[in-house]
Amino acid sequence: MFNNIFKKVILTSIWFLLSVSTTASSSDVQSDMLVKKQRFEMDNFVTFGGKTIKHVAVGYESYGQLNANKDNVILVPHYFSANSHAAGKYHVDDTQAGYWDAIIGPDKAIDTNQYYVISVDSLVNLNANDPNTITTGPASIDPDTGKPYGMTFPVVTMRDFVNVQKAVLESLGIKKLHAVVGASMGSMQAIEWAASYPDWVPRMISIVGTGQIDAWGTSMLEQWAIPVRLDPNWKNGDYYQSTPPTEGLISALMFITQDALTPEFFNQMGDSPAVSQQAGQAAALQDINRSPAIVNWLRELAKKRVALMDANHLLYLVRANQLFVAGQQQNLASGLQNVKAKTLFLPASNDMLLMPYLAQDAYQILKEQGKETELLPLTGPLGHLNGVQLISQQADKIKQFLAE
Amino acid sequence: MFNNIFKKVILTSIWFLLSVSTTASSSDVQSDMLVKKQRFEMDNFVTFGGKTIKHVAVGYESYGQLNANKDNVILVPHYFSANSHAAGKYHVDDTQAGYWDAIIGPDKAIDTNQYYVISVDSLVNLNANDPNTITTGPASIDPDTGKPYGMTFPVVTMRDFVNVQKAVLESLGIKKLHAVVGASMGSMQAIEWAASYPDWVPRMISIVGTGQIDAWGTSMLEQWAIPVRLDPNWKNGDYYQSTPPTEGLISALMFITQDALTPEFFNQMGDSPAVSQQAGQAAALQDINRSPAIVNWLRELAKKRVALMDANHLLYLVRANQLFVAGQQQNLASGLQNVKAKTLFLPASNDMLLMPYLAQDAYQILKEQGKETELLPLTGPLGHLNGVQLISQQADKIKQFLAE
């Protein structure tokens, strides 16, 4: 159990994390590092599934300076609902910094005095309507038709996210990474990098991560897609000239929020006056169409985020996650065979979304293959979100791992 | 990890459990006890929320003989998706017996040579269209309008389920129970009995159960309601003259199935050829509208069950669960203050739905109140469903507890 002061801090920071899209941080020291979204474009991108996307545009951000040898690069792929805003602020008056500002910056765990840190907006990024996100996906215009792709956009995978990142890096003259570090879906891209381009990756850190999505995870991810597809406004993805499936998307975000947290956190929320179990019960007893307070809280949080997001992009992100197995071989062990990186896994002990057995499995395989690998737990009441909100607890370990 | 033979048995029995509505059992010894659904009716039932239902009809089943003193009665309230068919068969050629046939019958843990065992179909029972279920809920005809209630049906609670059961028992001349024993939602009714009618209940057994639904559980239950409400055929519950919201209900059943099982079970399923991760991946990579194999498996299971179920009834069941706190006081400790029963809690260690901390909390409160209480774990790969499918592992303990 966490004490009241800690609880208040956590509730406040979670509120920000969940309510202001991807620009949030638990860092008490607010960043004064100013950053700028940059744009990368390429033609004729061939997907892992063999389809061609005629034109790809993605955003990226960088923190720190690329050295003359271009060998001080740390790539930070982002998690499911985030974009490349991993640290810093766009304007001095931004209320929140990028999601990992606690560990990325001058003298921080990922030290921008030393490293050139870069993050790239994924394909099919969830925040398609966010002016600070540049992505290509079903909401983008298909050059062949002049209309949004909708469901005609090809299925993309973690390998495709990685290949776009590789193209960005190569456009900057970079030929090798110092490290790749990612949380959650970012960890999938990190280990995919290590498996697919082993000569690029001497160090890999997987935070609240996994080497693959298993049958359980595949079904759980499907729960996020289902409300979008049920929403009558979804119309098989062809809603760009009409009302978007906002209710379905809000429901999906409610599910994602719950899956990323824990009973401990929810029940502490339920103890606070605004969302107490008691507060909503009288109304819920009298009217089947009134919701309990905790449900209203979840829904209001989701509503704040939904305008910047695209429902079809969520479906494509779900699929990219469902298809994930590092290295894209018959099984995870084959996929990890070529990994050369030394690796560090930091699963959260109480993660309900990517449970710790997943990181443990990847770690175990790498160990059995005779590779240098390490696993340490993250603790805290936030489950999966310990990897974002409470990452500072392993700042020293991350710094040391990157230095070796 | 469980071995291959055990795995085969489990997969087969789970398949039955999930596919043939509520008439399933993991018992290898098939029951030859024949049972018959009986009907109970009452007028002017006043709900806990203060509304009057002008006419209530529910089904019930009994196993064994009521003795002359009418003091050998064991009440078995049922779980969320079940009805009162707890044991035996309707016809000798039924392929499956009631869900707890493994522990209810002659010489079994709940010995029908000794006890008169009775179970009652709940109000707003999910299986409203099942000819073997008799229930009153939103699909029932409102005598005032001659049309189905839909969303005008009053919200009902565990206390209402208990009060209907009490009316059934009183109609049979019963004034006291020997014990009340329930799994999951059945456990909620069991502890509600012990808290609300302490003089009736000398013994209570809670299996994969809880003393209350907390903020986490309230939100999780809402996930089951959301797909129904999103389905365009739901029409605010007024679908009885049109196409019912089948897709929404199928989705809800998919969620319930996953929540009641475990990663271990799902991933064993995912290893079997029919639903292997590999099998569906090629199609899922090529077409965003094709689902991974494990998702198709879940959907097919749900489809087999959905015809007998009513979507509005699911919404009312969800609400009854969301409102649950034993004794209906300010908090659980106050609610349990009046309990006189000795109690036994059997939570499943890997339960993902009603996690073991919930039974632990109720047990702890009763213990602190100086009451006789005991807690023992259920094991097995099935999580919440260990309490139905693998209950035999505690048969001796149950028998002994009831005898004392």
Q: Does B115 touch chain A (CB under 8 A)?
A: no
A218 vs B292: CB contact, 8 Å cut-off? yes
Which CATH superfamily does the domain covering A4-403 fall into? Alpha/Beta hydrolase fold, catalytic domain (3.40.50.1820)
* Ramachandran class of A129: left when φ > 0, alpha when ψ lies in -120 to 50, beta otherwise: alpha
**Which chain B positions have a beta carbon within 8 Å of A320's beta carbon?**
none
- Residues of B within 8 A of A284 (CB-CB) are 155, 319, 322-323
Question: Is any Cβ of chain A less than 8 angstroms from the Cβ of B47?
Answer: no
Q: Which residues of chain B have pLDDT under 50?
A: 1-2, 5, 19-28
Q: Which residues of A touch B215 (CB under 8 A)?
A: 266-267, 269-270, 275, 277, 294
Question: What number is the ipTM of this complex?
Answer: 0.93
pLDDT (tens digit per residue) in A1-16? 345 545 555 555 565 5
Residue B130 φ then ψ, to 5°: -85, 125
pLDDT above 50 (res A388): yes
Give catalytic status of residue B384 as yes or no. yes
Q: Considering the entire predicted model, what is its pTM?
A: 0.94
How much is the pLDDT for B268?
A: 86
Q: Which of B1, B158, B159, B222 is the best substitution to test chain A (most A C-beta atoms within 10 A)? A: B222
pLDDT of residue A278: 64
| A140 among known catalytic residues | no
Written as six digits, the tokens of B128 are 């409203």
Which pLDDT score, from 0 to 100, does residue B269 have?
A: 79
- Chain A residues in contact with B330 (beta carbon < 8 A): 278
Which residues of chain B make contact with A248, given a CB cutoff of 8 A? 230
A215-240 pLDDT tens trace: 999 999 999 999 999 999 999 999 99
Considering only residues 278 to 297 of chain B, which have any Cβ-Cβ distance to chain A shorter than 8 Å? Answer: 278, 281, 284-289, 291-292, 294-295
pLDDT at A282: 86
Residue A66 contacts by C-beta under 8 Å, 6 or more apart in sequence? A72, A73, A116, A172, A174
B31-403 folds as Rossmann fold (3.40.50)
Q: Higher-confidence residue: B280 or A325? A: A325
Can you read off the two tokens belonging to residue A319?
């699929």
A154-168, A270-284, B209-223: least confident range: A270-284
User: Residue A49: which of B262, B266, B286 has the nearest Cβ?
Assistant: B286
Which pLDDT belongs to residue B73? 98
CB contact B218 to A (< 8 Å): yes
Would you call A379 an interface residue with chain B, using a CB distance cutoff of 8 Å? no
Residue B48 in contact with partner chain A when CB distance is under 8 A: yes
B267 near B281, Cβ under 8 Å? no
Question: Of A274, A273, A295, which is closest to residue A284 (Cα–Cα)?
Answer: A295
* Whether residue B313 lies in the annotated active site: no
Give the closest of A215, A292, A325 to B322, CB-based.
Answer: A292
Residues A292/A284, Cβ–Cβ less than 8 Å: yes
CB atoms A214 and B270 under 8 Å: yes
Structure confidence at residue A279 as a pLDDT band (50, 70, 90): low
In this predicted structure, the answer to whether residue A19 has a pLDDT above a threshold of 50 is no
C-beta of residue B371 within 8 angstroms of C-beta of residue B339: yes
* Cα separation, B89 vs B22, whole angstroms: 12
